[in-house]
């Protein structure tokens, strides 16, 4: 049954220990995350040079295949295991980045290259993300999920903290090709780590879904479970709100704000890094001390804190003021992610882990399909600071609405 839960294969659900296998995997994942952030900022900066509408279109090319194929990717990872999917995705991304680097070295940041590369990256992500996000649930007992998920969040945000300024520096000094080569190098390290760990029997942690249902039905099981669960449903609604009004901040709105105020690309990267730094600070505390006892309520509170930081960023008159504003937005983001991720993982059956993570990716991607294009077009018509302020308002409204409609989330 879709909602049947099963115990961890090797340890008690209350065991807070995070095994060595998880830390080894995370060290390899850190390299790929860093390369991804370098490439993401380089592509965002190159795209914003063509205007806000085109930048939104490039981001849409990343999001669209995620929407179309993430549920399939999750079903495959639950069926054959996360490890084969992760290894294949890393190999494909390595080859893709080498191709992008070759073309960019001749054609520069041509609009057609940006669109095709974004589409290909999004397709790989549709299979990579559900498998990668399921690893904490597969390797760590319930009692250690908050620490494991927070450690993964630290790595992700540190990669943003370092990767965004590095991406800005590379694209300003050596062009898009250099950023693509950096990403290729990062994924080569990740691929080598995955192969090495697979030889240690890490794939044996997989608990396959043995249902005989057709692929389309197994793919839809995650949606069915998420819609029926009293905690998963409001948690995913919060993720939708964050995706619509918070995620575009680093990928789209800060680069546009920097161009509007004539900041150099490296300065825009530092503001994005400040957002990541705030998130890392919170994730570090949670990794050491554990999450708060009411993760649902704390996650919602984090979004309200993030909205305050986004508002301050919109009102910031100078680069120096934008930095602490970005850090506040990052603190709120950290509170949200470090509590909503273990909340979702802990309420997911192990046989459906990747499929629920595919639903999470869908919840992040569907709003971006609208907001990336809409916000990019709005910036072409109005000031970026005005659009950022609108995002803060939308985030507050969404968060309060979910809290009002879900007493279970408020009590959790």
Structure tokens at 81: 């295991």
Among 289, 261, 217, residue whose Cα is nearest residue 48: 261
Question: By the 8 A CB rule, do 372 and 248 touch?
Answer: yes
Written as one string, the DSSP assignment of 147-175 is: HHHHHHHHHHHHHHHHHHHHHHHHHHHT-
CA proximity to 70, closest of 222, 237, 228: 222
Give the pLDDT score at 201: 61
32 inside domain: yes
- The answer to the question of residue 8 being in a domain is no
**109 in Cβ contact with 50 (< 8 Å):** no
Distance of CA 26 to the CA centre of its chain: 15
CA 140 from centroid of its chain's CA atoms: 20
DSSP state of 212: -
pLDDT score of 146? 78
Look at residue 134 and tell me if it is in a domain.
yes
398 vs 55: CA distance, rounded Å:
25
Domain CATH number, residue 249 = 1.20.1250.20
- The answer to whether residue 9 is domain-embedded is no
Residues ≥6 apart with Cβ < 8 Å to 80: 208
Q: Which of 65, 49, 265, 304 is nearest to 169 (CA)?
A: 265
Residue that has been written with the tokens 């960019």 in this structure: 104
pLDDT at 8: 42
Q: At what angle do helices 52-80 and 82-107 cross, to 10 degrees?
A: 150
Would you write out the chain's pLDDT as a tens digit for each of its 412 residues? 344 443 344 444 555 678 888 888 899 999 999 999 899 889 988 998 888 888 888 988 988 898 888 888 888 888 888 889 999 999 999 999 999 999 999 988 899 999 999 999 999 999 998 888 888 887 887 778 878 888 887 888 788 778 888 988 898 888 999 999 999 999 999 999 888 888 766 555 555 555 555 555 666 777 888 888 888 999 999 999 999 999 999 888 998 888 888 888 878 888 988 998 898 899 888 877 766 678 889 999 999 999 999 999 999 988 899 999 999 999 999 999 989 988 888 887 777 778 888 888 888 888 888 887 788 888 888 889 999 999 999 999 999 999 999 888 888 7
Q: Is residue 10 part of a domain?
A: no
Q: Which domain holds residue 197?
A: 20-205+214-411
C-alpha span between 110 and 112 (Å, rounded)? 6
- Number of structural domains found in the chain: 1
Instruction: Return d(Cα 21, Cα 148) in angstroms, integer.
Output: 12
Report how far residue 34's alpha carbon sits from residue 361's, in angstroms, rounded to the nearest whole number. 19
Contact 395, 306 (CB under 8 A): yes
Inside any domain, residue 123: yes
**What pLDDT shows up at residue 59?**
84
Domain membership flag for residue 2: no
Residue identified by tokens 């408020």 is 410
Region for residue 262 given its phi and psi (left: phi exceeds 0; alpha: psi -120 to 50; beta: otherwise): left
Question: CA dihedral defined by 156, 162, 163, 168, rounded to 10 degrees?
Answer: 150
Q: How far apart are CA 156 and CA 31, in angstroms?
A: 10
Q: Which residues contact 326 (CB under 8 A, 6 or more apart)?
A: 254, 271, 272, 274, 275, 278, 309, 313
Tell me the pTM.
0.73
Residue 381 lies in a domain: yes
CA dihedral (364, 367, 372, 376) in degrees, to 10, reads -150
CB neighbour burial string for 57-92, b if at least 16 within 10 angstroms, e if fewer: bbbbbbbbbbbebbbbbbbbbbbbbbbbbbbbbbbb
């Amino acid at each position: 049954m879709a909602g049947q839960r099963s115990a961890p294969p090797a340890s008690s659900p209350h065991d807070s220990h995070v095994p060595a296998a998880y830390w080894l995997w995370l060290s390899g994942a850190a390299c790929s995350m860093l390369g991804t952030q370098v490439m993401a900022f380089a592509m965002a900066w190159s795209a914003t040079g063509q205007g806000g509408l085109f930048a939104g279109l490039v981001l849409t090319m990343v999001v669209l295949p995620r929407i179309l194929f993430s549920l399939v990717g999750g079903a495959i990872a639950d069926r054959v295991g996360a490890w084969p999917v992760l290894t294949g995705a890393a190999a494909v991304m390595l080859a893709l980045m080498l191709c992008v680097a070759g073309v960019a070295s001749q054609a520069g940041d041509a609009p057609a290259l940006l669109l095709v590369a974004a589409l290909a990256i999004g397709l790989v992500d549709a299979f990579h993300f559900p498998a990668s996000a399921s690893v904490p649930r597969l390797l760590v007992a319930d009692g250690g999920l908050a620490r494991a998920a927070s450690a993964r969040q630290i790595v992700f945000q540190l990669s943003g903290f370092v990767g965004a300024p590095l991406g800005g520096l590379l694209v300003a000094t050596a062009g898009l090709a250099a950023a693509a080569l950096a990403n290729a190098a990062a994924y080569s390290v990740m691929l080598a780590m995955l192969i090495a760990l697979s030889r240690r029997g890490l794939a044996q942690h997989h608990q396959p879904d043995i249902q005989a249902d057709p692929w389309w039905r197994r793919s839809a099981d995650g949606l069915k479970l998420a819609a029926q669960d009293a905690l998963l449903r409001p948690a995913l609604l919060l993720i939708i709100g964050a995706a619509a009004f918070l995620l575009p901040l680093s990928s789209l709105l800060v680069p546009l704000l920097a161009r509007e105020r004539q900041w150099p690309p490296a300065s825009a990267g530092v503001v994005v890094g400040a957002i990541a730094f705030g998130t890392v600070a919170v994730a570090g505390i949670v990794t050491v001390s554990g999450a708060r006892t009411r993760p649902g309520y704390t996650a919602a509170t984090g979004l309200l804190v993030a909205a305050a930081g986004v508002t301050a960023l919109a009102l910031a008159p100078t680069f120096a003021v934008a930095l602490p504003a970005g850090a506040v937005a990052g603190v709120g983001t950290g509170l949200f992610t470090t509590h909503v991720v273990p909340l979702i993982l802990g309420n997911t059956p192990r046989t459906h882990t990747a499929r629920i993570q595919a639903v999470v990716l869908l919840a992040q991607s569907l709003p971006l399909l609208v907001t990336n294009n809409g916000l990019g077009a709005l910036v072409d018509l109005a000031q970026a600071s005005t659009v950022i302020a609108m995002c803060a308002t939308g985030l507050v409204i969404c968060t309060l609405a979910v809290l009002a409609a879900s007493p279970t989330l408020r009590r959790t």
